[in-house]
Amino acid sequence: MRSWIKYGASLCVLAGLPFVATGADAAGFALKEQSASGLGNAFAGATAGAEDLSYMFFNPAALAEVEGVQALTVASYIRPVSELKSSSGFNAFAGGALTGPSTQNDIGSGAALPAFYGAIPLTEDINFGLAINTPFGLETEYSPDWVGRFHGVRSELLTINVNPAIGWQITDKVSIGAGAQIQYIEADLTNATLTQVGEGHASLEGDDWGYGFNLGILVKPFDQLQLGAAYRSQVKSTLEGDVNIFVPGIGNLPTLGAQADVTLPDSFSLGFVYDINSNWSVMGEAQLTMWHKFNEIRIQFDNGMPDNVTTENWDDSVFVAAGATYKMDEDWTFRFGVAFDESPVPDNFRTPRIPDANRYWVTVGASYQVSDWFTVDAGYAHIFVEDSDVNLSGAGENLLRGSLTAEYESHVDILSVQGKISF
């Protein structure tokens, strides 16, 4: 009996492994807010701009534009609101129609997100930089007895990416950059599970390190125009951890080891910044994120049970943005932006762990140069998220989880501030 319980719980927990960031500000479970100045323009021109050191996250060639020693810290607060408007579940193994809460005011969790940057010159034309960011993450949580509890209750993801990079100004017109990604990933997932003595609950904690790189180029065809292109590689990790299962009347079962390969996607971006005059600039951005590689989750168990495979079939997604910057005087700068962020999740593969949908951004921001060596930036974004539905059958991969239908309404607010020190 215990082996059957452990097997069922493991499938339920591990099948949702990557779906852990409904509250993420970008489509899928990515986090874009790595720059308060960039946020003000909805990250339009982020690949081509080099206004400060934070732009090295989007294009390492921006490092080449840094003068002297520079340090910059970003603090963002993301407040996702994802309301479960209605839901119903059916599980033949649990007695049919599931009872419990079918609505919830908010399944998202607000989070503070820091980012750190530093740069020093190595030669007259080459700078070294270091960035520490969280490019993927956030958290969702349902009531533990809601009608979709077999598909997921709590989902939490943390990534920390350490990105040393080099920027080289080859000529006055061309700069290039390259960096390494050293990324830590940690996940914590819970859900209800079926046992022969009633409903239990299961949890998974796992972590790993992964590695990748990023490349970029900046080109100035003439003084008023700067173009940028950048590539950020995928990062592969193998989450290894423990599945813990609680069974009513029995207690905690012996820990079951498991692992799952996770590939966080690569992306390619293009951008431009055009200076209309000394006061006004306009900018644009297009980014393609290669989510198509996320086509399945394959779970391997330490005790030799057969692999469990969950089909995902995500699509590549596009982010496009347009913005404008007004430099009022030597001290004050104001920014504006709009963006469209396409969801990679096909309608028929959407799950309650990430009921993702297309997003529309509206942003504003400002900078104030306090002194020759210190500048403060702030940016605000409101993200409109299209309503989304979950429709999962209780057959095949969801045999033990049962069927689920759910409807969601969501939006996201982001506030970012940063301080830059230059020497």
pLDDT of 18: 34
pLDDT of 303: 79
The pLDDT-based confidence of 132 (bands split at 50, 70, 90) is very high
The number of residues making up the chain comes to 423
> Does residue 278 surpass a pLDDT of 70?
yes
Percentage of residues in the chain with pLDDT exceeding 70?
Answer: 92
Q: What mean pLDDT do residues 43-64 have?
A: 96
**pLDDT tens digit string along 307-351?**
766 677 889 999 999 999 999 999 999 999 999 999 999 988 888
> Does residue 168 surpass a pLDDT of 80?
yes
Residue 83 belongs to what domain range?
Answer: 2-422
pLDDT of 52: 93
User: φ, ψ for residue 51 (rounded to 5)?
Assistant: -65, -30
Rounded distance, CA 26 to CA 136, Å? 9
Q: What mean pLDDT do residues 404-410 have?
A: 95
Rounded distance, CA 88 to CA 319, Å? 33
Q: What mean pLDDT do residues 97-104 have?
A: 94
- Cβ–Cβ < 8 Å for 323, 41: yes
pLDDT of 26: 65
Is the overall model pTM greater than 0.95, yes or no? no
State whether residue 99 is helix, strand or coil. Answer: coil
Q: What mean pLDDT do residues 33-62 have?
A: 96
* The amino acid at 132: I
pLDDT of 4: 34
Which CATH number belongs to the domain containing residue 305 in this structure? 2.40.160.60
Half-sphere exposure of 170 (CA within 13 A, CB side): 11
Q: What mean pLDDT do residues 395-423 have?
A: 93
> How many domains would you assign to the chain?
1
The torsion of the CA quartet 232, 238, 239, 243, rounded to 10 degrees, works out to 160
- Cβ–Cβ < 8 Å for 199, 170: no
Q: What mean pLDDT do residues 148-169 have?
A: 94
The pLDDT-based confidence of 19 (bands split at 50, 70, 90) is very low
Closest CA to 394 of 107, 12, 9, 6: 12
Q: What mean pLDDT do residues 18-28 have?
A: 49
Across all residues in the chain, what is the average pLDDT? Answer: 89
Rounded distance, CA 154 to CA 176, Å? 42
Q: What mean pLDDT do residues 221-229 have?
A: 96
Closest CA to 190 of 176, 179, 201: 201
Tokens 């000394």 appear where? 278
Sequential DSSP letters for 257-300: EEEEEEEEPPEEEEEEEEE-SSSEEEEEEEEEE-GGG--EEEEE
> Does residue 14 surpass a pLDDT of 60?
no
